[in-house]
Structure 1
Amino acid sequence: MTYREGLQAALYRALPSPLGETLHERGLVSGERPLKLFVFSRLLGLRYLPEAKAFAAEGELTLYFASALEEVLSGLVRGLWERGGLEVHGLPLRLLGLELEPLPPGGRVVVEALAPITVYRTEGGATRYFNPLNREFGLLLEANLRRKAEALGLEAGPFQVRPLGFRPQHKRLERYKGTWVEGWMGRFRLEGPPHLVRLALLSGLGAKNSQGFGFVREVGGC
Structure 2
Amino acid sequence: MQILLSAEKVDRSDIVLPFHYQAPLQGAIYHLNQNAAFGTFLHDIGYSAEGRKYRLFCFSRILEKPKHILRQKHAFVFPSKISWIVATVDNPFADSLLQTIFTDDPFMIAGQQLRFCRIQILPECKDNPLHVRAMSPICVYSTIEMANGKKRTIFYHPKEEEFAAILQRNLKRKCIARFGNEEMDDSFHMRILSRPGEVVTEYKQFVLKGYLMEMELSGSDQMLQMALCAGLGGKNAQGFGLIMPKSQWKELI
Q: Give the TM-score taking structure 2 as reference length.
A: 0.80
Q: 2:60 aligns with which of 24, 32, 41?
A: 41
Shift of 1:140: 0.3
Identity of aligned residues (%): 28
Shift of 1:93: 2.2
Residue of structure 2 in register with 1:164 after alignment:
193
Matches within 5 A, 1:1-222: 2-16=20-34, 17-27=36-46, 29-31=47-49, 32-47=51-66, 49=69, 51-52=71-72, 53-84=74-105, 86-124=107-145, 125-151=151-177, 152-154=179-181, 155-167=184-196, 170-220=197-247
Moved more, 63-72 or 48-57: 48-57
Q: Secondary structure at the match of 1:107?
A: coil
1-structure distance, mates of 2:219, 2:60: 23
Give the 3 Å change call, closer, same or farther, for CA 86–45 of structure 1 in structure 2. Answer: farther
Checking the alignment, whether the CA contact within 8 Å between 1:130 and 1:137 is kept in structure 2 is yes
Report the residue type matching 1:49 in the other structure: I
- In terms of fraction of residues, the more strand-rich structure is 2
**Greater radius of gyration (CA):** 2
Checking the alignment, whether the CA contact within 8 Å between 1:115 and 1:213 is kept in structure 2 is yes
Report the residue type matching 2:31 in the other structure: R
Shift of 1:51: 2.0
Equivalent pairs counted in the alignment come to 218
List alignment gaps of at least 5 residues for structure 2.
Answer: 1-17, 146-150, 249-253
CA-atom RMSD, angstroms?
Answer: 1.9
Checking the alignment, whether the CA contact within 8 Å between 1:40 and 1:115 is kept in structure 2 is yes
Report the residue type matching 1:33 in the other structure: R
List alignment gaps of at least 5 residues for structure 1.
Answer: none
Q: Give the TM-score taking structure 1 as reference length.
A: 0.91
Q: Residues 4-54 of structure 1, C-alpha deviation per residue, up to 9 Å, x if partnerless?
A: 111101110000123222211112x24422321000011221416152311
- After TM superposition, which residue ranges in structure 1, 4 or more long, deviate above 3 angstroms? 83-86
